[in-house]
Amino acid sequence: MIPAAFAYDRPATVDQAVGLLAAHQGAAKVIAGGQSLLPLLKLRLARAERLVDIGRLSELKGVRRTADGGVSIGALTTYDELGRDPLITTYGLMADALPGIGDVQVRNRGTIGGALAHADPASDMPAVLLALDAQLVARSVRGVRTIPVDGFLRGPFATALEPDELLTEVRIPAPSGAYGSAYRAIEQPASGYAIAGAAVVVGRSGGGSGRLDRCSVALTGVGEAPYRAAAVEAAFLGGADPASAAAHATDGVTVGSDIHADRAYRAAVAAVQVRRALEAAIARAG
């Protein structure tokens, strides 16, 4: 199909981009890789009066080490670029998740910022960043604000971004002590989206070989949005083994049901993926 008519702007700088969003607030949509938005426009499931194409803004690309030892990722960095960057692949859950996202075209065109702004409830990357306690940077003509990723995701295809804001950066804090992480998922074969996926980070605050005293677990594909599984974290830190902790994967969550998986199956798959991710993360933590 052919999209409905729209105006098109290709700003040369971030300042120009946020200026356009401010000038056409509510009527403009941002496009970068286009892997999520273009199919919706072509099927007329979405409509835009104006597209603001930021795909060539080099200032929003790349990965760098921050002064505090964390990592900064430009919003236009593609999955393929992330998967080849040594600063990113040192995170086990990133190395696990990135090769399985979409197909070759999606990984070469799709961007981390686009995935977050699109907020598909079965997307892999939001869960990974939830487990990593990432911070997101949004910019507008009003200034810059930093949003914790767990406050950014509001629901299916809904975020905390204001209509005049542009997502510019993802910040992953520096890990402290010894840690290990992993991502495990069962995907729907045709789309590549997760039926249930689990991202896990475990660690020891003091390093060494003591007891694991840090745990973050996030799931995707299960509820209306990716979420932190607080009940799993509490059970594991309370001394439960991975299988017993993983049994709490869907506590307090309305599990989704669709043509690919009913609620009972999706809940069972979620528990299995959490157990597998916990076991892998524990092994990597030594």
| Residues sharing a CB contact under 8 Å with residue 183, sequence separation 6 or more, in sequence order | 92, 93, 94, 96, 97, 124, 127, 128, 197, 198, 199, 200, 277
Give the residue among 220, 191, 43 at the shortest CA–CA distance from 119: 220
Residue 4 has what pLDDT? Answer: 84
Instruction: Name the fold adopted by 63-172.
Output: 3.30.465
Per-residue pLDDT, 83? 96
**Per residue of the chain (286 residues), what is the pLDDT tens digit?**
688 888 999 999 999 999 999 999 889 989 998 888 888 888 887 888 899 999 999 999 999 999 999 999 999 999 999 999 999 999 999 999 999 998 888 899 999 999 999 998 889 999 999 999 999 999 999 999 999 999 999 999 899 999 999 999 999 999 877 899 999 999 988 777 899 999 999 998 876 667 899 999 999 999 999 999 999 999 999 999 999 999 999 999 999 999 999 999 999 999 999 999 999 999 999 8
| Residue 251: per-residue pLDDT | 98
In 3-state terms, what secondary structure has residue 202? strand
Of residues 33, 187, 8, 49, the one with CA closest to residue 116? 33
Ranges of CATH 3.30.390.50 domains, the chain: 180-285
Task: Give, in order, the Cα–Cα distances in Å from 65 to each of 71, 173, 226.
Answer: 5, 10, 27
The fold of 7-53 is 3.30.43
Return the CATH fold of 180-285.
Answer: Enolase-like; domain 1 (3.30.390)
CA distance 149 to 132: 9
Closest to 214 (Cα-Cα) out of 202, 232, 198:
202
Residue ranges matching CATH 3.30.465.10 in the chain: 63-172
CATH 3.30.43.10 domain extents, the chain: 7-53
